Chains A and B, each alone.
Chain A
Amino acid sequence: MKRENTVDTVETAPLIGHGQTYGTITDKITADVLERKTPRGMLVGLAIAFVLTMVLFISIGWLMIKGVGIWGINIPVAWGFAIINLVWWIGIGHAGTLISAILLLLNQHWRNSINRFAEAMTLFAVGCAALFPLLHLGRPWVFYWIIPLPDTMALWPQFRSPLTWDVFAITTYFTVSFMFWFVGLVPDLATMRDTAKKKWMKIVYGVLAMGWRGSARHWHRYEMAYLLLAGLATPLVISVHSVISFDFSVSVLPGWHATIFPPYFVAGAIYSGFAMVLCLVIPVRKVYGLQDFVTDRHMDYMAKVMLATGLIVAYGYAMEAFFAWYSGNEFEKYMMFNRTQGPYGFIYWGLLLTNIAIPQLLWIGRIRKNMVWLFLISITINIGMWLERFVIVVTSLHRDFLPSSWDMYYPTIWDWATYIGTIGLFLCLMFLFIRLMPMISIFELRQLLPWRGK
């Protein structure tokens, strides 16, 4: 009985705190950027993130000098951390598009207070992801060979290869995410322009706002364009992670060659992305006191989305194991045996623990409302999703058909430095975004306030 009551209050709780008006919403969110002194915790965080970014630059520099030999990759495990991290980062990015596009099409108004934040996350995560295949090229400075440009060598990229599809999918995804994010920002940049006191701020925000003046005709076309973009971004986001999964499933390696890969990758991407959104939103909401806009109800919804996608991922693992057995193929069967009991077996069990077992705590309503628990579970899921990619990339590659070609993969310090460096870069960009831009969509929050005739 008591439990039903709590569910009821969550469902009926308003998406915006009581007593907020058009003016107070605007003042609060713009003041966080324009007036408020940077919180000390943010400066410390930015400093740490900046140091890690420098670690990234150093490892990229060393990579340019020495080549990919500084990483632990070799034959047979030629992919290693670079591809694990690519898939991990891209997956994280997907939650932003899901929140901003798919939930817009489904008329889920609660998205309005987290979409800006999640879109920025998408943009930075996709940027980090795109670094890895570029660095993994070996000679990153000739990256333009993978773009179809007329050149004197008269060569074309191999359009039948999923790796070329990746180039198109990721660049399209980045471009569309950027446009979606920027178009969403324009009216709020106009608000910043009109609220800013200092002249140079007015000029900077004014240039970015492009003379937006809130005309009814403009709004009409704006909403149409935004809706169309959402409609285009929705199949796009699904296609991007499907294409990423083709990198694996189009090959004939046991553990990769599976038809379940595209849907299971997309679900995993959304799963890890929501975990990352929660990881970021929980501390930011606390530091900036945004409980009126990002309410407990939002947290509850996001936790539920995580739970649902987590179950789809669990189904994916179960099917992988089932078909390894059901196929009767000795290589498939050995792949599963090697995953669970081979030298990397502990990673597989760690994955089941962090990705499947621990997130089941989210069934309990009290845990969904406890921010500390939610934060810890989100971190666990992020780790779990990284382990999943490790299992897929490394355990499938290191023992394929011929035992004579088996070998082990051990990441080196440079693998770790590059990986942790991108986390630093990501956090650095996130901190700067929070400091310089309205992190919550102001005009979409205004729409959440009720008015007569609606």
Chain B
Amino acid sequence: MAEFSGPEQVLEAARQAYAKGYRQMDAYSPFPVDGLAEAIGFRRTRLPLFVLVGGIVGALSGFFLQYYAAVISYPLNVGGRPFNSWPSFIPITFEATVLLAALCAVVGMLMRNGLPRPYHPVFNVQRFERVTRDKFFLCIEATDPLFDEKKTLKFLESLSPANVTTVDP
């Protein structure tokens, strides 16, 4: 794992590592860095699709709840007006849509990120504490087919980092 002191350096290092053929790696930064996820080979997230499905399910269930109550379970004849008075069901349908979509966005983000996760090997590195302050890290994982402890260490050192460490599992 290599440490860098600026977003430009870690971005450059990530690009070089990707060009070298490394795939199983991760970069860490104190704030979102534009292009860093793409540089380590992360293409796109399916989160928006998940949220869309959540929103559709929310809309349907929100509307059906009211339809069921007003038409099937407890029809109430108010001066011969239709039971399915859909315009007055819209506000709650809308709120249900937003609620479910928002829940899906948060839960989906956490689940796909594998959080909450109390333990992760990178926390073993003492200096890694500063990732939430002002330092940037690039970590090439041992599961990478190209990984070789000596060669990878040498490669990381060639990227002119501030520091290089091995991460204990």
Instruction: Check if A386 is an interface residue, CB within 8 A of chain B.
Output: no
A interface bracket (residues with beta carbon within 8 Å of B): 35 or more
Establish whether residues A187 and B92, one from each chain, have CB atoms under 8 Å apart when the complex forms.
no
Q: Given the complex of chains A and B, what is the CA–CA distance between A125 and B36 in angstroms?
A: 38
Select one of B37, B101, B105 contacting A220, CB under 8 A: B37
Select one of B7, B27, B101, B109 contacting A451, CB under 8 A: B7
Establish whether residues A159 and B92, one from each chain, have CB atoms under 8 Å apart when the complex forms.
yes
Establish whether residues B108 and A155, one from each chain, have CB atoms under 8 Å apart when the complex forms.
no
Instruction: Check if A317 is an interface residue, CB within 8 A of chain B.
Output: no
Number of A-B contacts (CB under 8 A): 188
Q: Given the complex of chains A and B, what is the CA–CA distance between A222 and B31 in angstroms?
A: 11
What does DSSP make chain A's interface, helix, strand, loop or mixed?
helix
Instruction: Check if B20 is an interface residue, CB within 8 A of chain A.
Output: no
Please give, as numbers and ranges, the residues of chain B lying within 8 Å of A212 by CB-CB distance.
115, 132
Please give, as numbers and ranges, the residues of chain B lying within 8 Å of A156 by CB-CB distance.
69-70, 73-74
**Residue in A closest to B27 when the chains form the complex, CB atoms:** A216
Given A179-B103, A210-B115, A216-B27, A452:B98 Cβ within 8 A: no
Establish whether residues A172 and B98, one from each chain, have CB atoms under 8 Å apart when the complex forms.
yes
8 Å CB interface, B64-120 against A: 65-66, 69-70, 73-74, 85, 88-89, 91-92, 94-96, 98-99, 101-103, 105-106, 108-110, 112-113, 115-120
Q: Given the complex of chains A and B, what is the CA–CA distance between A191 and B129 in angstroms?
A: 8
Establish whether residues B105 and A229, one from each chain, have CB atoms under 8 Å apart when the complex forms.
yes
Please give, as numbers and ranges, the residues of chain B lying within 8 Å of A444 by CB-CB distance.
31
Establish whether residues A221 and B133, one from each chain, have CB atoms under 8 Å apart when the complex forms.
no
Output the least CB separation between A145 and chain B (Å). 14
Q: Given the complex of chains A and B, what is the CA–CA distance between A443 and B134 in angstroms?
A: 10
Establish whether residues B32 and A219, one from each chain, have CB atoms under 8 Å apart when the complex forms.
yes
Select one of B42, B119, B130 contacting A217, CB under 8 A: B42
Establish whether residues A213 and B131, one from each chain, have CB atoms under 8 Å apart when the complex forms.
yes
Establish whether residues B91 and A23, one from each chain, have CB atoms under 8 Å apart when the complex forms.
no
Given A172-B98, A179-B102, A243-B91, A216:B28 Cβ within 8 A: yes
Establish whether residues B101 and A232, one from each chain, have CB atoms under 8 Å apart when the complex forms.
yes
Q: Given the complex of chains A and B, what is the CA–CA distance between A446 and B88 in angstroms?
A: 46
Instruction: Check if A398 is an interface residue, CB within 8 A of chain B.
Output: no
Instruction: Check if B144 is an interface residue, CB within 8 A of chain A.
Output: no
Establish whether residues B7 and A214, one from each chain, have CB atoms under 8 Å apart when the complex forms.
no
Please give, as numbers and ranges, the residues of chain A lying within 8 Å of B119 by CB-CB distance.
211
Establish whether residues B11 and A214, one from each chain, have CB atoms under 8 Å apart when the complex forms.
no
Establish whether residues A239 and B91, one from each chain, have CB atoms under 8 Å apart when the complex forms.
yes
Q: Which of A60-68, A88-96, A163-171 contacts B (4 or more CB under 8 A)?
A: A163-171
Establish whether residues A219 and B33, one from each chain, have CB atoms under 8 Å apart when the complex forms.
yes
**Residue in A closest to B104 when the chains form the complex, CB atoms:** A228
Establish whether residues A228 and B105, one from each chain, have CB atoms under 8 Å apart when the complex forms.
yes
Shortest 6 CB-CB contacts between residues of A and residues of B:
A210-B116, A22-B134, A225-B109, A220-B37, A211-B117, A156-B69
Q: Known pairs A165-B95, A191-B30, A191-B133. 20 more at Cβ < 8 A? A: A22-B30, A23-B133, A26-B30, A159-B92, A172-B95, A176-B102, A187-B132, A195-B132, A216-B14, A216-B27, A216-B42, A217-B37, A219-B32, A219-B33, A219-B36, A228-B47, A232-B51, A446-B30, A453-B34, A454-B34
Enumerate chain B interface residues (CB-CB to A < 8 A). 6-8, 11, 14, 26-34, 36-37, 39-40, 42, 45, 47-48, 51, 65-66, 69-70, 73-74, 85, 88-89, 91-92, 94-96, 98-99, 101-103, 105-106, 108-110, 112-113, 115-120, 122-123, 128-134
25 residue pairs A–B, Cβ–Cβ below 8 Å = A23-B133, A159-B66, A159-B69, A160-B88, A175-B102, A194-B130, A211-B119, A212-B115, A213-B28, A214-B30, A214-B131, A215-B27, A216-B27, A216-B42, A219-B36, A222-B109, A224-B48, A225-B106, A232-B51, A239-B94, A239-B98, A243-B91, A451-B7, A452-B8, A453-B8
